[in-house]
Amino acid sequence: SSGINAELPLRPGSPFIIQYILDSIPGYQNGVIIAKSPDATRRASSYAERLQLDIAVIHGEEKNDGEEYSDDGRSSPPPPCSFSQQVFCFDYPGTVPQTVPKVKPPIRVVGDVSGKTAIFVDDMIDEAGTFINAARLLKSNGATNCYVMVTHGILSG
């Protein structure tokens, strides 16, 4: 083939991000590492331990004007049993209880960010809206500055 075929070694971004934080974020010692969701706490904890900082977590979700939780299927009833699922189906004497829709709490910050520099660390950023909204929330909770550190910028939107 006429193309170039080269293998590039995979390099973890964390040493570079940590060095950048140490060198380039003024007063990082008064910072807090932000997990943009509960799922991101493991990564945030790893950075926080190496930088000897606390963590805070963005929890819940923003609900857009006019958006209903039923729009994303949370309040959907279970599907009816089909013949292939008969092993899991049973006859329930009486009426089946109504399912309770899964509702996430409103978006909020778990942890202290007041008077601190908030530092997000993530593996990639596509549309920055999530980070911008989280930064606004952090600022409204007293964060002095917000920084976002990512290793891959997709930026498609």
Residue 155 pLDDT exceeds 90: no
In the sheet that holds 108-110, the strands lie side by side as 108-110, 54-59, 31-35, 117-125, 145-153
Pairing between strand 54-59 and 145-153?
unpaired
CA 91 to CA 80: how far, in whole Å? 12
CA 79 to CA 35: how far, in whole Å? 35
First CA to last CA distance, the chain: 34
Phi, psi of 4 (to 5 degrees): -95, 130
pLDDT tens digits, one per residue of 39-89: 999 999 999 999 999 999 999 876 555 555 455 555 555 556 555 555 555
Q: What pLDDT sits at residue 153?
A: 82
pLDDT tens digits, one per residue of 5-39: 777 665 677 889 999 999 999 999 999 999 999 99
Cβ burial, residue 75 (10 Å; 0-12/13-18/19+):
middle
Type of residue found at 3: G
pLDDT tens digits, one per residue of 121-154: 988 888 888 899 999 999 999 999 999 998 888 8
